[in-house]
Structure 1
Amino acid sequence: MSAAQPPALMAATADALRDRLIGPLNVYYLHGTEHLQQTLLAPDLIDLVTPRPLFLSHSDRAAIAQSHSTNWIEFVPAMLHQAGRLLTEHIDPECFFVTVSPMDRHGYFSLGTNADYGASVIRKARKVIVEVNRYMPRTFGECSVHISEIDHIVEHDQPLVEAIPKAPTEVDRKIAQQIIERIDDGDTLQIGVGGVPNAVLSGLKQHKDLGLHSELFSPAMVPLIQAGILNGRRKTWMQHKHIFTFALGDRALYEFLDDNPAIVGYPASWVNNPDIIRLNDNMVSVNSALEIDLTGQINSEQIGDRPFSGTGGQLDFVRGAYAARNGRSFIALRSTAQSGSVSRIVPRLLSGAVTDPRNDVQFVVTEYGCVNLKGLSIPQRAKALIQLACPEFREQLEREATSLGWI
């Protein structure tokens, strides 16, 4: 997944396919990188590789565009906390590729940035091939893999892929401010990816004793840890430890992770398990969405008929955070898309992709306000969500909600 996808192994496999040294492959993964796009997802391999991602990235979408085939990449719906089980019990992989850090004196490699499903699959795949890369940080938790568990080793040093976060826009900051006002000292956080989550993190500099239990470890978290704001002191579960399942960012982030005993990676089956998430009192989850309908259903993964990303761990944390004592779950989205021409608040989801059922959604935030949907009837929800829409679309939404019998 992501930064742990091994570029040399993928390139060698692509060449072997071209030379007909190996037969067609089914390739399962999450969040493809540019290296995957340039190797196993190259257009000339379309008849030899069937990609089956559990979550799509920008590189995956670019590969689809290059292939001129909308159905080449076969998306597999999955929640992140079930990925390890899905890839071992239902798919039964014959071979697993992953990047690891150099071996220590005890014979252990580290999965570094990516415990996610790697920590589960590496012990179930029939054959394991690792790419040892000195740029992969050594991390703690359940990230260690002994040499006896590995079939083959390739050594290849190459800087890890980087994801440089974009600076938040003014709209991002407006949305983030409403979430920041609802985060208290001592809360434990899960923060997703995007402009709003980054703006939330950058706005927490006056808070105290925050904790971290998050699927993603991102660059915006580093300054808060260095300043002692994110310290885990008041966590009720894994106190003083910053919990993650995968990390993605810049080189400075990877260097910060290296040999840092306070930051521990565990499989997504544990980190993203709602029953584990709820063990932290005052758990706060912040994630983004593509659209929401007037009953509260969230779509975070599909645009029209096209898969855009995936469920990932969003629903895991929506449920886990709300289940925690004094827990809060936020779904943040801009009110419009396509330069203001399309409303992200819609009467009904037409894509067919429901990331978060309306029963699970708690706080919804746009630049026009914040509403807690828990306990609201369908008419109350429709009226509240229309007020979160861009003013240009509110009258039309009211008409459509009326025609549907909701108000």
Structure 2
Amino acid sequence: MDAWNPELKALYHQRLLTPADAVLQIADCRNLILGMSAAQPPALMAAAADALKDRLIGPLALYYLHGTDALRRSLLIPELADRLTPRPLFLSPADRDAMAQSASPNWVEFVPAMLHQVGRLLTEHIEPDCFFVTVSPMDRHGYFSLGTNADYGASVIRKARKVVVEVNRQMPRTFGECSVHISEIDHIVEHDHPLVEATPNPPTDVDLRIADRIVERIDDGDTLQIGVGGVPNAVLAKLANHRDLGLHSELFSPAMMPLIQSGVMNGRRKTWMQHKHVFTFALGDRALYDFLDDNPAIVGYPASWVNNPDIIRLNDNMVSINSALEIDLTGQINSEQLGDRPFSGAGGQLDFVRGAYSARNGRSFVALRSTAQSGRLSRVVPRLRGGTVTDPRNDVHFVVTEHGCVNLKGLSIPQRARALINLAAPEFRQSLENEATSMGLL
């Protein structure tokens, strides 16, 4: 604060409010958009919950991705059901818990969306009345940083009618399109708190076996997008002997840090954004957030850019690695629904499936364990159980389980069915073959 000039200091203090007073400034708003995950502001969310209970604001429609435990405790509570309609565009465990606990099955209204379109949806198809987001402290030039979350924050913050930021000294300062000037902000609150952390579970033996099949198809100089889950983390752990890898990924995760620190991932051979590690949101532990802070090699950009297939394809040798819940015998992928229950969302998976394959020498991998429920359920199925298609069969490239890896491009329906049956656990193969025959696939 001592480095600020008098004009900036005066402007900052003019806009500084308590969380309770800041929330009162949105009394005329109908739609409230929250930052995603680590960028969700706990003090503002708690104050908004109090104001809704006291009927000082609302009713509100609430839009966001990947709700946190702080959101679950503050706004996603049954007593606000008549004042608040949550409309997440990607579900987290906190969101699923809120859905399970709600007396109304439709209180939480899931909004299907691909990540590269979310910024547009929230600014064109939904009126962006107000935006709440966590930012890093202001620098001497008057800029805050969106830190871990460029994603849709970089798009919404410049279109929302009212912008309220929660300044947190634990939010890292990042580069790229993450800077927001104080002139673009209506109100400021201050609240220091630890950011949301996500520590992945150690990979299982099955994860490691799947990872081996993917790693043998990754070459020196490839540019990677790595999704969430045990297999993607296992893949990263097995790349220490590769050279000159690049990063263009929606997610920046802890497993990427050792590769950058050792020089394995340096971006030297990237054909687009050379030497820069590109991400749109970061989620991990405190060590990851410290690594991001003031690191000029790591740059965050909106998902509308990072996840745009036309941008992804600009890197030759682009490789995307994502996980799935199930695949049917024609190659359709479901990564977002368990039976009739929404589980997560499309996120950016299809963005990168399409973008990576479109690149010169590009490859897209979708990985899944062959079984679920301790081996009682096959993830290779005759028909998708929930009917939700995340990746159409026309787009799917490599599919990997612990039993093998198959390239579906160019295969007929019967060829696909036979190849995918061979990726299933042996105990399910005969029943899958019988089903395929009865369906006319074989």
Report the TM-score when normalising by structure 1: 0.99
Q: Which residue of 1 aligns with 2:214?
A: 179
Q: Which residue of 2 aligns with 1:393?
A: 428
CA shift, 1:67, in A, is 1.8
The gaps in structure 1 that reach 5 residues or longer are: none
**Pairing 1:321–2:332 present:** no
Instruction: State the percentage of identical aligned residues.
Output: 83
Q: Which residue of 1 aligns with 2:260?
A: 225
CA shift, 1:23, in A, is 2.0
Which stretch shows the higher mean deviation, 358-367 or 56-65? 56-65
Which stretch shows the higher mean deviation, 43-52 or 270-279? 43-52
Take 1:43 and 1:131, find their aligned partners in 2: how far apart are those partners?
Answer: 25
Match of 1:85 among 108, 116, 120: 120
**Pairing 1:243–2:275 present:** no
Take 1:252 and 1:76, find their aligned partners in 2: how far apart are those partners?
Answer: 33
Take 1:109 and 1:263, find their aligned partners in 2: how far apart are those partners?
Answer: 17
Match of 1:133 among 156, 159, 168: 168
Q: Which residue of 2 aligns with 1:330?
A: 365
Q: Which residue of 1 aligns with 2:223?
A: 188
CA shift, 1:66, in A, is 2.1
CA shift, 1:13, in A, is 0.1
Match of 2:107 among 72, 75, 97: 72
One-letter amino acid of the structure 1 residue matched with residue 180 of structure 2 = V
CA shift, 1:69, in A, is 3.4
**Pairing 1:97–2:136 present:** no
Take 1:235 and 1:208, find their aligned partners in 2: how far apart are those partners?
Answer: 12
Match of 1:212 among 244, 247, 250: 247
> Can you list the C-alpha shifts for 1:75-127, whole angstroms capped at 9, x where unaligned?
10110000000000000111000000000000000000000000000000100
**Pairing 1:20–2:60 present:** no
Take 2:368 and 2:254, find their aligned partners in 1: how far apart are those partners?
Answer: 21
Q: Which residue of 2 aligns with 1:353?
A: 388
CA shift, 1:298, in A, is 0.3
One-letter amino acid of the structure 2 residue matched with residue 206 of structure 1 = N
Q: Which residue of 1 aligns with 2:314?
A: 279
Take 2:103 and 2:329, find their aligned partners in 1: how far apart are those partners?
Answer: 35
Match of 2:147 among 112, 119, 123: 112
Q: Which residue of 1 aligns with 2:347?
A: 312
Match of 1:5 among 18, 33, 40: 40
Q: Which residue of 2 aligns with 1:255?
A: 290
**Partner SS state of residue 288, structure 2:** helix
CA shift, 1:349, in A, is 1.3
One-letter amino acid of the structure 2 residue matched with residue 373 of structure 1 = L
**Partner SS state of residue 199, structure 1:** helix
Q: Which residue of 2 aligns with 1:363?
A: 398
> Can you list the C-alpha shifts for 1:319-364, whole angstroms capped at 9, x where unaligned?
0000000000000000011111111000011312100000000000
One-letter amino acid of the structure 1 residue matched with residue 226 of structure 2 = I
**Partner SS state of residue 95, structure 2:** helix
Match of 2:193 among 137, 152, 158: 158
**Partner SS state of residue 236, structure 2:** helix
Q: Is the 8 A contact 2:338 2:385 kept in 1?
A: no
> Can you list the C-alpha shifts for 1:43-85, whole angstroms capped at 9, x where unaligned?
2212221110110011111111222433211110110000000
CA shift, 1:42, in A, is 1.6
Q: Which residue of 1 aligns with 2:76?
A: 41
Match of 2:156 among 111, 115, 121: 121
> Can you list the C-alpha shifts for 1:138-173, whole angstroms capped at 9, x where unaligned?
000000000000000000000100001110000000
One-letter amino acid of the structure 1 residue matched with residue 205 of structure 2 = E
One-letter amino acid of the structure 2 residue matched with residue 140 of structure 1 = F
Take 1:138 and 1:253, find their aligned partners in 2: how far apart are those partners?
Answer: 12
**Partner SS state of residue 28, structure 1:** strand
> Can you list the C-alpha shifts for 1:225-246, whole angstroms capped at 9, x where unaligned?
0000010000000000000000
Q: Which residue of 2 aligns with 1:299?
A: 334
**Partner SS state of residue 123, structure 1:** coil
Take 1:145 and 1:113, find their aligned partners in 2: how far apart are those partners?
Answer: 14
Take 1:81 and 1:72, find their aligned partners in 2: how far apart are those partners?
Answer: 26
Q: Is the 8 A contact 2:326 2:380 kept in 1?
A: yes
Q: Which residue of 2 aligns with 1:382?
A: 417
Q: Which residue of 2 aligns with 1:265?
A: 300
One-letter amino acid of the structure 2 residue matched with residue 374 of structure 1 = K
What is the aligned length?
A: 407
Take 2:348 and 2:210, find their aligned partners in 1: how far apart are those partners?
Answer: 21
**Partner SS state of residue 153, structure 1:** strand
Match of 1:200 among 229, 235, 240: 235
Take 1:112 and 1:250, find their aligned partners in 2: how far apart are those partners?
Answer: 14
Take 1:340 and 1:60, find their aligned partners in 2: how far apart are those partners?
Answer: 27
Report the TM-score when normalising by structure 2: 0.91
One-letter amino acid of the structure 2 residue matched with residue 270 of structure 1 = W
Q: Which residue of 2 aligns with 1:31?
A: 66
Take 2:94 and 2:279, find their aligned partners in 1: how far apart are those partners?
Answer: 23
